[in-house]
């Protein structure tokens, strides 16, 4: 079956295992990004390298990590192992990592990037994102550490009441430092994460290099239709994080993945609810990065390119949206760069 999606270019399907690889979208700088990737947040540290290796063997060609996840070394090891085994070449795989909020100040963007670059050890990084527009204070973990070493700083600095200690750094300054990284040749593309439409517009209007994507929470309960429409019109892709809605989260039962009507759809298409949900989000215009360390679920999540939801089923899925946000970051609600105080 040929799939027709306005912004997503598919390779010609051929009856080999490689045919399932590299379903890509062309970014605004010409690089191609696979429209499904493996998420790695909260993957068991001892198991992550194995999981990333399995994902590559299954056919994943896009891995999402972050300095904050503390697993960049494992991701890099797994990719290098698969390159050494001859399964892939470096240019076959797209690796994303992210700048954490404690490193927004001038000088620290470069330091933090260098640490991620060294952790991954993959010649270059495909995509580097500003993880979150709100900057945090840099608090040393322990006075004996060095201020020149980014690992000396707490990742989640909080006051005595548990509220995040935020700072005051304009994300445009951060963006300009990110642009310099592209000029250095160590990273191919740069982008945003958790930015709203106004923040995205401000970056677009004040940059030499445009963000290629904005990675935001996106699943049927928070389908981001307005942000996707806004961003696509400006040639910025949307990458959907938590695309399954983190089914084991405490509010899991509210999620589309458990909706009896989604189960009915799954039966109709001979697919699982997870596959219906991921397929929906791709047809909705986003790139998906489901996390799993389980080989069978990784295969299940990847196997979504041999069917297409009909228009009427897409309409039904759209109705599941109830703007239910898993990641509210409510402790930073009063910060001027808090992104979720406007509609989208």
Ligand X SMILES: NC(=O)c1ccc[n+]([C@@H]2O[C@H](COP(=O)([O-])OP(=O)(O)OC[C@H]3O[C@@H](n4cnc5c(N)ncnc54)[C@H](OP(=O)(O)O)[C@@H]3O)[C@@H](O)[C@H]2O)c1
Which of 64, 74, 259, 308 binds ligand X (CB under 6 A)? It is: 64
CB of 145 or CB of 254, closer to ligand X:
254
CB of 8 or CB of 129, closer to ligand X:
129
Look-up: residue for tokens 């990110």?
178
CB of 254 to ligand X, least distance (A): 14
Please give the Cα distance from 155 to 144 (Å, whole number): 17
256 Cβ contact partners less than 8 Å away, ≥ 6 residues apart: 219, 220, 221, 245, 262, 273, 277, 317, 320
Determine if 341 is a binding residue for ligand X (CB under 6 A).
no
Residues touching ligand X: how many (CB under 6 A)?
27
Give catalytic status of residue 337 as yes or no. no
Determine if 247 is a binding residue for ligand X (CB under 6 A).
yes
Please give the Cα distance from 86 to 117 (Å, whole number): 22
Total count of residues recorded for the chain: 344
Distances (CA, A) of 150 to 13, 68, 114, 214: 45, 12, 10, 25
> Which part of the chain contacts ligand X (CB under 6 A), choosing from 22-30, 149-157, 170-178, 238-246?
238-246
Q: Which helix (H) or strand (E) holds 199?
A: helix 197-205
Is residue 252 left, alpha or beta, with left meaning phi > 0 and alpha meaning psi from -120 to 50? alpha
Residue of 60, 69, 241, 338 marked catalytic? 69
Which of 59, 135, 290, 339 binds ligand X (CB under 6 A)? It is: 290
CB of 271 to ligand X, least distance (A): 11
CB of 68 or CB of 117, closer to ligand X:
68
Which of 220, 245, 285, 339 binds ligand X (CB under 6 A)? It is: 245
CB of 149 or CB of 261, closer to ligand X:
261
| DSSP annotation string for 221-284 | TB--HHHHHHHHHTT-EEEEESTT--TTSTTGGGSGGG-HHHHHHHHHHT--HHHHHHHHHHHT
Q: What residue number has its CB nearest to ligand X?
A: 39
Which of 119, 214, 215, 224 binds ligand X (CB under 6 A)? It is: 215
Which of 21, 23, 34, 39 binds ligand X (CB under 6 A)? It is: 39
Please give the Cα distance from 242 to 223 (Å, whole number): 11
> Which part of the chain contacts ligand X (CB under 6 A), choosing from 23-31, 77-85, 107-115, 237-245?
237-245
> Which part of the chain contacts ligand X (CB under 6 A), choosing from 28-36, 294-302, 305-313, 314-322?
294-302
CB of 61 to ligand X, least distance (A): 15
CB of 129 or CB of 177, closer to ligand X:
129
Distances (CA, A) of 119 to 3, 115, 267: 38, 6, 43
For residue 118, the SS3 value is helix
CB atoms within 10 A of CB 21: 18
Determine if 223 is a binding residue for ligand X (CB under 6 A).
no
- Would you please indicate which residues are annotated as catalytic (active-site) residues? 69
Residues engaged in binding ligand X (CB under 6 A): 39-41, 64, 131, 193-194, 215, 241-248, 274, 289-294, 297, 300-301, 327
């Amino acid at each position: 079956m040929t799939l027709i999606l306005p912004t997503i270019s598919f390779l010609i399907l051929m009856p080999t295992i490689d045919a399932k690889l590299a379903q890509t979208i062309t970014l605004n700088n010409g690089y191609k990004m696979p429209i499904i990737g493996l998420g790695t947040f909260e993957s068991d540290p001892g198991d992550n390298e194995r999981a990333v290796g399995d994902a590559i063997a299954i056919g994943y060609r896009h891995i999402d990590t972050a300095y904050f996840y503390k697993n960049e070394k494992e991701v890099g090891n797994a990719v290098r192992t698969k390159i050494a085994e001859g399964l892939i070449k470096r240019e076959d795989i797209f690796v994303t990592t992210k700048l954490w909020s404690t490193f927004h100040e001038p000088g620290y963007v470069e330091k933090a990037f260098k640490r991620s670059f060294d952790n991954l050890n993959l010649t270059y990084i495909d995509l580097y994102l500003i993880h979150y527009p709100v900057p945090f204070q840099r608090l040393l973990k322990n006075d004996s550490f060095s201020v020149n070493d980014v690992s000396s700083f707490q990742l989640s600095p909080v006051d005595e009441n548990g509220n995040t200690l935020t700072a005051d750094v304009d994300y445009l300054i951060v963006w300009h430092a990110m642009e310099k990284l592209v000029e250095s040749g160590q990273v191919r593309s740069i982008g945003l994460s958790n930015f709203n439409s106004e923040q995205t517009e401000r970056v677009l209007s004040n940059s030499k290099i445009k963000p290629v994507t904005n990675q935001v929470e996106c699943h049927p309960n928070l389908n981001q239709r307005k942000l996707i429409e806004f961003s696509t019109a400006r040639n910025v892709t949307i990458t959907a994080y938590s695309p399954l809605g983190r089914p084991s989260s405490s509010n899991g039962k509210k999620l589309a993945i458990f909706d009896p009507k989604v189960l009915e759809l799954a039966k109709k298409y001979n697919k699982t609810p997870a596959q219906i949900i991921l397929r929906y989000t791709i047809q909705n215009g986003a790139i998906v990065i489901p996390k799993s360390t389980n080989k069978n679920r990784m295969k299940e999540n990847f196997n979504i390119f041999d069917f297409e939801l009909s228009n009427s089923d897409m309409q039904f899925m759209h109705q599941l949206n109830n703007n239910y946000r898993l990641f509210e970051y409510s402790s930073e609600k009063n910060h001027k760069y808090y992104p979720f105080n406007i509609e989208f």
